Chains A and B, each alone.
Chain A
Amino acid sequence: MNWSLSLPEIVLAVCGMGILLFGVVKRDDKTDICSMLTIAALVLCAVLVVGNSTGVAFEGQFVGDPISVFAKLLILTASAFAILLSLDFNRRAHIARFEFPVLVLFATLGMMMMVSAGNMMSLYLGLELQSLSIYVLAAFARDDLRSAEAGLKYFVLGALASGLLLYGISLVYGFSGSMDFQGIARALADPSTASPGVIVGIVFVIAGLAFKVAAVPFHMWTPDVYEGAPTPVTAFLGTAPKVAAVVLFARVMMGPFGHALGQWQMLIEIVSIASMLLGALAAIGQSNIKRLMAYSSIGHMGYVLIGIACGNAAGFRGVLVYLVVYVFMNLGAFAVILAMRRRGLAVETISDLAGLGRNDPALALAMTIFMFSMAGIPPLSGFFGKLYIFLAAVQSGLWALAVIGVLTSVVGAFYYLRIIKVMYFDEPAPAFDRRAPSISVAAAMTGLFTTFFFVLPGPVLNAAAAAAKVLFG
């Protein structure tokens, strides 16, 4: 048994329990120490991920390959940023408790399990570990009615989605005779002989995973949860779990179900088109910036699903590149939203941003960069994310998806540009409070990455291409 492959996960789990114990035993204010320890644990884990070898462990239940390394590094980065962003907000919102970083850590562990899953059971357990931690995080401001509502809503709908996923998994297992991804792939090697039961199972698995990435018929929870959850949780929810769920989605569809591409491709295309349309159209009428980000993330997931619908190496590479770009610009945008604080109270409407260009030019510049990037305007990173996705779609002959994708990005550009217009040209609102250093650091780092991605895109592109090669050797 090659257990050393899962060394990063083991170390992270032990660190999580250690930090939990430390937090319980230590009496006085310990949230900041625990947060710093958690960030240190995530960094240590990232080092171990890079240094670890690849292969299969635990009888195929755990896979360490370039895909999982790529996704884990991205997830660990996003989680560390989310904890950094939470420091100041939680203290001011009086929810600074040491369980917050611990729950983020366990959610991260679940996500790492998800991207390393080589078996339906490890897929499900990783997903549940991640979801359960995030349900609690969404309700973390328990005295706030909206936060409690967000947690409850996410929990009930998430449990339903888990049920759908499990039902799909049990059908796939029943008709293919295996829980193992490779075993399922062998059983589906000739899709024409595959029984309808497997296809029904695949549809249910798609439904369960589409809920986790918030793609359109399963997106209903997103705006409410994004709006109600404490903003650092929203920043976390919108980045790391999306990476894990999308990578898992892509791996499951292209790995075990890869031979049955003809059976599920149409389904993913429909989900993708619906997500892009809803993301573009429903965001226009929003006045709350967190709700706007929710619809924006639905739209972005639509673009990512184009890559999955391609079902080939180019599509997979596009998905991974898009995820990198998406995580950084989303974290940056949430850093700016976290800086929206007037007289100690967090404000969330778009009109509150008015006059930011005059009051705080640096913050306004950062927000402009993120919004332009989300709209996909070159040379910012968002453009390259879309570029590789659309290239893959065109190469795979999915013209309709590419055309609709371009059209919806044009529509989506409207509401991103509206934010920029409000910041620079509207009647100024009173200035925000001084922003915390942690927020400035996060906004600056993500802003620099988003702006200068085009200078040195090589490492990300190469790593993504290498990862895509694993499934399409």
Chain B
Amino acid sequence: MITMIAFYLFAAILIASAAMVVSARNPVHSVLFLILAFFNAAGLFLLNGAEFLAMILVIVYVGAVAVLFLFVVMMLDVNFVELREGIQRYAPIGAVVGLILFAELLMVVGVWHFSPAISTLRVALTPMAEQNTAALGDLLYTHYILLFQIAGLVLLVAMIGAIVLTLRERTLSRHQVIARQIARSPDDTLELVSVALNAGIPAASFRRPLADPLAEQPQEHDDRHPHIVSGAAHHEERH
């Protein structure tokens, strides 16, 4: 009885929030309703005894995907009003397509049947575990541990590849070097010149900035004279 009530409660909220996802005016509200829909779907899975799917739905979809959506919606300036233009115009044809799809699905489900010998045809048998989380864990971490590890290495290589191909050391950007800032004294940069009346300042009287004692690292060298450094590299190559 309680299961029944819970089912109808979850199902009703699921459908209502799904409807709100597509009809809410504010896209942030849509995403929040989507999260609500995910939670209720997870509840339905739980009622069916698929606790692993329920957990995954909450962890992956609510925890990651929906939050990602939320970020995208809030970060990108998508004009949802423009997207909605013409919704009235296209509604009838959309409804027709939807109806046809629904009829076809009904027909497929109507004639679909599982082979009576299905339990013997399978080669990889479902482990006899009480919970499907334990069953999946048994498969992944005991029977297919080798494949699981290799899949992990594939992901590691993908990560290395993404870093190798895209990460650049920004030699042209200026980092803050606190030691240099502290080591600076007014004498390095300021020069007090007493200017004679009506004479102006002759350009040659400016003192060049002193060589920075801390600027020995080549990349900082790069910053100031990129053309000279690249010229030197060419020079080296020629010999």
User: B150 touching A136 by the CB < 8 A rule?
Assistant: no
Pick out which of these stretches binds chain B: A30-38, A56-64, A257-265, A287-295: A56-64
User: A142 touching B165 by the CB < 8 A rule?
Assistant: yes
Inter-chain contacts of B123 with A (CB < 8 A): 177-180, 183
Inter-chain contacts of B146 with A (CB < 8 A): 6, 57-58, 61-62, 122
Pick out which of these stretches binds chain B: A99-107, A189-197, A213-221, A392-400: A99-107
User: B238 touching A344 by the CB < 8 A rule?
Assistant: yes
Pick out which of these stretches binds chain B: A74-82, A125-133, A446-454: A125-133
Name A's interface SS.
Answer: helix
With contacts A129-B154, A139-B165 taken as known, whether A58 is within 8 angstroms of B145 at the C-beta atoms is yes
Q: Which residues of A come within 8 Å of B, CB atoms?
A: 6, 13, 17, 20, 57-59, 61-62, 92, 97, 99, 102-103, 106, 109-110, 113, 121-122, 125-126, 128-129, 132-133, 135-136, 139-140, 142, 151, 177-180, 183, 343-345
Q: How many A-B residue pairs have CB under 8 A?
A: 76
User: A132 touching B150 by the CB < 8 A rule?
Assistant: no
Among A113, A133, A151, A343, which residue has its beta carbon within 8 angstroms of that of B157?
A: A133
A122 to B153 alpha-carbon distance, docked (Å)? 13
Inter-chain contacts of A125 with B (CB < 8 A): 147, 150-151, 154
B121 at interface, CB cutoff 8 A: yes
B156 at interface, CB cutoff 8 A: yes
Name B's interface SS.
Answer: helix
Q: What band does the interface of chain B fall in when counting residues whose beta carbon is under 8 Å from A?
A: 20 to 34
B139-182 toward A: CB 8 Å interface, digit per residue (1/0)? 00001111101110110111011011100000000000000000
A61 to B147 alpha-carbon distance, docked (Å)? 8
User: A129 touching B157 by the CB < 8 A rule?
Assistant: yes
Given contacts A99-B160, A122-B146, A183-B123, 15 further A-B contacts (CB under 8 A): A61-B144, A61-B146, A99-B164, A103-B161, A113-B150, A122-B150, A126-B150, A129-B150, A129-B154, A132-B157, A135-B161, A136-B161, A139-B165, A177-B121, A177-B122
| Cβ-closest chain B residue relative to A183 | B123
B85 at interface, CB cutoff 8 A: no
Report the minimal beta-carbon distance from B183 to chain A, rounded to whole angstroms: 22
Inter-chain contacts of A128 with B (CB < 8 A): 154
User: B156 touching A106 by the CB < 8 A rule?
Assistant: yes
Inter-chain contacts of B154 with A (CB < 8 A): 125, 128-129, 132
Inter-chain contacts of B160 with A (CB < 8 A): 20, 99, 102-103, 106, 136
User: B238 touching A343 by the CB < 8 A rule?
Assistant: yes
Report the minimal beta-carbon distance from B122 to chain A, rounded to whole angstroms: 8
User: A132 touching B158 by the CB < 8 A rule?
Assistant: yes
19 contacts between A and B (CB under 8 A): A58-B145, A58-B146, A59-B143, A61-B146, A62-B146, A102-B160, A106-B160, A113-B150, A121-B147, A122-B150, A126-B150, A129-B153, A133-B157, A136-B161, A142-B164, A151-B165, A177-B121, A177-B122, A345-B237
| Cβ-closest chain B residue relative to A136 | B161
Inter-chain contacts of B121 with A (CB < 8 A): 177
A343 to B146 alpha-carbon distance, docked (Å)? 49
A126 to B157 alpha-carbon distance, docked (Å)? 12
With contacts A121-B147, A125-B151 taken as known, whether A136 is within 8 angstroms of B237 at the C-beta atoms is no
